[in-house]
Amino acid sequence: MSVARFWRKIPQRYNMIGTKCETCHRHFFPPRSFCPDCRRNGRIVDHKFAGFGTIITYTVIHTANEQFEAFTPYVLAIVKLDEGPRMTAQVVCRPDEVKIGMRVKSVFRRIATDGESGIIHYGTKFVPTG
Amino acid sequence: MKSTMVADPLRLFDCSPITDGAAAVIVAPLDRAREFTDTPIKVLASAQASDTITLHDRRDISTLDATVAAGQKAFRMAKLTHKDIDMVEVHDCFSIAEICAIEDLGFCRKGTAGKFTADGETALGGKIPVNTSGGLKACGHPVGATGIKQVYEIVKQIRNDAGKRQIDGADIGMTHNVGGTGATAVVHILRRA
């Protein structure tokens, strides 16, 4: 199986599928198969995240490694999903547009490339909801 | 201040250069130390603490909780307070990391280390000289060797052997080393034996 086909089998790689604990309603992304709060009393089920969140903090990357060079300058943010978990992801907007507290939603985008003839990495980025 | 922007607001000269380097210490039981040196140094505290590896799961992005915990533990082990420390080598992988470390180790209240540093209180002759070696930024960051290099600097200072950067009356020193962007922090307190 090629790498790309293998990646498609990982639920949280291309889709925002995590888990939640039905006992305490805590959500996990990336998925956890065990609730660290409820432990043996936890009941973990899959959860499809709505993809909406708020920017907690951000930076603008100007000097990136080779894989991300094509995107510079780009916004890298910590996003708190409405369901609770936080993610680190790129935000697709102009660097002067981004603000702490900005509402964003997840989108499926090209993340990086392994050189001219290498594999293209896809995954989750965010865009402003406005 | 005009160097290439890396990750806003950190510019190239805010970032420590990853370098080659090596450092070593000889550790021996205190009662045998004089077989190896005339000027042994005593380890008063060796404390470690850890935190999540992912930045986004941290309680606060301007504090390394691992540093706070390791620092408090080290002071308890050594039965000392901040006033007893003559100098500290902190893990300044970035300029802001030095500011946060000074606060997290308790030498300043949160939010005040920037002014404290600008006022010269962390320079030679200041209240608490920080990174007389130049630290990770000015001396270099040979990742695995950095922690021992910090100990080397404190030993030089305590032995009154630090040349132009010698601190007057250097007696007790602290080192603060960080791994995994703050997932691990290690704090040592050293004194002339």
Task: For chain B, say whether A72 makes contact (Cβ under 8 Å).
Answer: no
Strands B41-50 and B184-192, bridge-based pairing: antiparallel
* Residue-level pLDDT at A64: 94
Contact between B56 and A63 using a beta-carbon 8 Å cutoff: no
C-alpha dist (Å) from residue B163 to A7, A61, B167, B169: 57, 40, 9, 13
Cβ-defined contact of A59 to B54 (cutoff 8 Å): no
- Give the best residue of A78, A79, A96 to mutate against chain B (max B CB count within 10 A): A78
Number of domains in chain B: 1
The tens digit of pLDDT for each residue in B50-73 reads 999 999 999 998 999 999 999 999
Q: How far is B54 from chain A (nearest CA, A)?
A: 9
Q: pLDDT of B95-147, one tens digit each?
A: 999 999 999 999 999 999 999 999 999 999 999 999 999 999 999 999 999 99
CATH number, domain at B170? 3.40.47.10
A1, pLDDT greater than 60 = no
Spatial CB neighbours of B58, under 8 Å, sequence gap ≥ 6:
B51, B52, B65, B182
Architecture of domain A50-130: Beta Barrel (2.40)
**Which residue range(s) make up the domain with B132?**
5-192
Instruction: Specify the pTM.
Output: 0.91
Q: What is the amino acid identity at position B69?
A: A
Size of interface A-B (CB pairs under 8 A): 35
> Which of A2-11, A25-34, A94-103 is predicted least confidently?
A2-11
Q: Domain segments of chain A: what residues? A: 1-49, 50-130
Within its chain, how far is the Cα of B97 from the centroid?
Answer: 11
